[in-house]
Amino acid sequence: MTRLTGSALRVTVFIGENDTWHHKPLYTEIVHRAHAAGLAGASVFRGIEGFGASSLIHTSRLLSLSEDLPVAIVIVDTEERVRAFLPQLDELVGEGLVILDDCEVIRYVGRAEDSGETGAKGKRSL
């Protein structure tokens, strides 16, 4: 089980929903590579509206012509691990924005893998 507390680094990658890597969604490739690199975690968030360097507004509103909604991939781990992963992002992200933020991890707990027991508030026991 990965344990992470204290100082950490957050990398956020902003790309378009339709961006691809070898005919697969780019966000999927980033998440899978982060997992393979042993990073603590990665999440993908789909935006409902936004614009980037092209200044073209992408929106989920019904009458909009744009369907390429913004996507943010957030990865948090130690600074050393995140910085070691950056060359892969450099390879993958041709258009988009990659930012780094210092952060502090207060609590990072995974699900119990082999225990079906639940503790307080219906959460699995650790």
| Cβ atoms of 93 and 26 closer than 8 Å | yes
Q: What is the average pLDDT across 87-98?
A: 95
Q: Which of 8, 41, 27, 20 is nearest to 72 (CA)?
A: 27
- 30-83, pLDDT tens digit by residue? 999 999 999 999 999 998 887 777 767 677 665 555 577 899 999 999 999 999
| Cβ atoms of 52 and 111 closer than 8 Å | no
pLDDT value, residue 37? 97
| Cβ atoms of 43 and 74 closer than 8 Å | yes
Q: What is the average pLDDT across 8-17?
A: 96
Least confident range of 4-13, 67-76, 91-100, 111-120: 111-120
Q: What is the average pLDDT across 115-123?
A: 50
Ordered DSSP codes for the chain: -----EEEEEEEEEEETT-EETTEEHHHHHHHHHHHTT-S-EEEEE-SEE--TT---EE--TT-S----EEEEEEEE-HHHHHHHHHHHHHH-SSSEEEEEEEEES------SS---B-GGGPBP-
Q: Going by C-beta distance under 8 Å and a sequence separation of 6 or more, which residues neighbour residue 103?
A: 7, 8, 9, 10, 76
